[in-house]
A and B are shown apart, each in its own frame.
Chain A
Amino acid sequence: MAKITAGVASSHVPLLGVASDQNKDADGYFGPIFDGYEWTRAWEKAEKPDVVILVYNDHASAFDMKIIPTFAIGCGERYKPADEGWGPRQVPDVEGHPDLAWHIAQSLILDEFDMTIINEMDVDHGLTVPLSMMFGKPDVWPCKVIPLAVNVVTYPPPSGNRCWALGEAIARAVDSFEGDLNVQIWGTGGMSHQLQGPRAGLINKEWDNRFLDGLVGDSDHLRRIPHIEYLRETGSEGIEMVMWLVMRGALGKSTRLLHRHYHVPCSNTAIGHAVLRPDNGEGFDMTGSDAIHAVAAA
C-alpha cells in the first residue's frame, strides 16, 4: 500500500538552480548552502522514494493573471522545465504519476477540497530547484513527481490552517491508493524574504528558526499564524511558508526531525531546510537510514 514516509521542507530560490547548472555549487558563496543538503542527498539515495508530491508555487510561468487556481494538482505524464526569461534550465524533464495524481485529485474533491486539475504545464524553479537540491545532477530524476501548485502570489492565498488540512486530506488519499508506493511530500518556498519595495531584503532569523522548531513534534500552533504575521515578520514573499504546512499536515499528529539546515543569504532570501519523519507509531524508517544517521551523529 502507498504511504507518506517522510516530509521535506526547502526554500526554492532560482539562483540555486543557476549555481547548480553552472557548477558554482561548491564556491565560497554557494558552498555553505549546498553543504547543508549533502545529508539529504545521501538519505534520498537510501530512501528511494517512488513518488514525491511537490508543493510549490508557480512564479508567473505556467499561470498568468488569466486563471489563478488556489490549489492545483498536476495529473499529467510529464512536465518540461519552464523558460523563465533566461532559457529553460538544462535539467531532466519531470515525470508525473498520473495514476496516483488522479487518485489524489478525485479523493480530495470527494473530501471537499475543490482542486484544479492540470494536465499540461511547464514547471518553473519552484519545482525544479528543490529537485536539484535533493537529488543533485542526475541524467533522469530518480522518482516520479506530482506537482501541487498553491497560489501565494495574488491575495488572499489559502490560510495556513487550510494548507495543513489539505495535507491531512492528501495523506488520507495516499493511504487509500491501491499500489505499493513509497511517497514523500515536500513543502517548498520561503523562508523570510521580500523581493519588492523599499523594505526589500528583509530577513528574520529568529522567526524563521521558531518556525523550523514548530515543524517538529506534535505542535500545531503553526496552522494558526495569520497572513499578516508572515508579511510583517518575514517579508512579503515569506508567505510562501504556508506551503510547508501542506507538507507538515500530511505527516500526521507528530513528527521527528532527521535533518535541519538554515543559511543567510542566498540572493534576497533566507534558506531553510528540514527533513521530517511522521512519528505516530508507524515506523516509516524503511531503509534503516535513520539508524545510520543516529550512528553517524553519535
Chain B
Amino acid sequence: MTGPRDIHAYLAEFEDIPGTRVFTAARARQGYHMNQFAMSLMKAENRERFKADEAAYMAEWPLTDEQKQALLDRDYNRCLDLGGNVYFLSKLFSTDGLPFAKAVATMTDMDFDQYTQMMMQGGRSPEGVRSIKEGR
C-alpha cells in the first residue's frame, strides 16, 4: 500500500492549491443535482426546453437558489464552488455553443485572446501556484 493513511490530511492538502477546486466527495455531494441537471442537456429535447425558458427548466431540478443563479450567470467559478464539475458543466458550454477552451478562459483573470496567447507561449507556469501555505 502506498496510499495516505490519514484521509483527513489527504483531503486537507487539496484545499492548499491556489485557484483549484478538486472534485472531492464533499463537492460531488453538494453539486449532485447541478451536475445531473447539466448531464440532462445531453438530450436535444432538454436543450430546447432549457433554451426556451432557463429558469423554468431549472425549477424542475432540486437546485439551490445560489446554484440556479450561478448557472444563469454562467459564473463557472461560482458553479465549481457550489459543487459543479467541469466535465458536467461542459454540457452547458456546448448548449451555449461555447468552445471548451473559451469557457475555461472565463474562469481565469484573462480574456480568451490573452489566454490563448499564454497557451501558445507554453502555458501557465506552476511557479508560485503549487501551494498557498508554502507560497511556491
Q: How far is the CA of A157 from the CA of B64 in the complex (A)?
A: 28
**Roughly how many angstroms separate A224 CA and B20 CA in the complex, as a whole number?**
23
Task: Verify B122–A205 contact, CB threshold 8 A.
Answer: yes
A230 to B123, CA, bound (A): 16
B22, B38, B95, B100: the one contacting A195 at CB < 8 Å is B100
- Asked whether A85 and B95 contact (CB < 8 A) given A60-B88, A197-B107, the answer is yes
Interface string of A207-247 (1 = CB under 8 A from B): 10000000000000001101110011110100000000000
Q: Please indicate which of the listed interface residues B10, B101, B104, B123 has the most CB atoms of chain A within 10 Å of its own CB.
A: B123
B18 pairs with A201, CB closer than 8 A: no
Q: Are A224 and B2 in contact, with the CB atoms below 8 A?
A: yes
Q: 1/0 contact trace for A240-270 toward B, CB 8 Å?
A: 0000000000000000000000001101101
Query: At the interface, yes or no: A156 with Cβ under 8 Å from chain B?
Result: yes
Pair A60/B119 contact, Cβ less than 8 Å: no
The main secondary structure of chain A at its interface with chain B is: loop
CA of A18 to CA of B19 in the docked complex: distance in angstroms?
A: 29
The answer to whether A60 and B17 touch (CB under 8 A), given A84-B94, A159-B2, is no
Q: Which of B4, B76, B88, B122 contacts A264 (CB 8 A)?
A: B122
Name the interface residues of B14-32: CB closer than 8 Å to any CB of A.
Answer: 14, 17-25, 28, 32
Binds A, one of B53-61, B66-74, B79-87: B79-87
Q: What A residues does B22 contact at CB under 8 A?
A: 155, 231, 236
A60-B87 contact, Cβ under 8 Å, with A65-B28, A155-B25, A201-B104: yes
Check if A197 sits within 8 Å of B2, measured CB to CB. no
Take A83-B42, A228-B14 as given contacts and tell me if A197 and B19 are in contact as well, using a CB distance cutoff of 8 Å. yes
B36 touches A65 (CB 8 A): yes
Partner of B85, one of A153, A156, A201, A202: A153
Cα distance A204–B104 in the bound complex, in angstroms: 18
A159 to B1, CA, bound (A): 9
Do B108 and A154 touch (CB < 8 A)? Answer: no
Alpha-carbon separation in the docked complex, A160 to B22 (Å): 18
- Chain A residues with CB under 8 A of B93: 85
Beyond the given pairs A83-B42, A197-B19, A236-B23, 18 more chain A to chain B contacts, judged by CB atoms under 8 angstroms and listed by A's residue number, are A14-B100, A60-B35, A65-B32, A65-B39, A159-B3, A195-B86, A195-B104, A197-B107, A198-B19, A199-B18, A199-B19, A201-B108, A201-B115, A228-B13, A232-B126, A232-B131, A265-B123, A268-B100
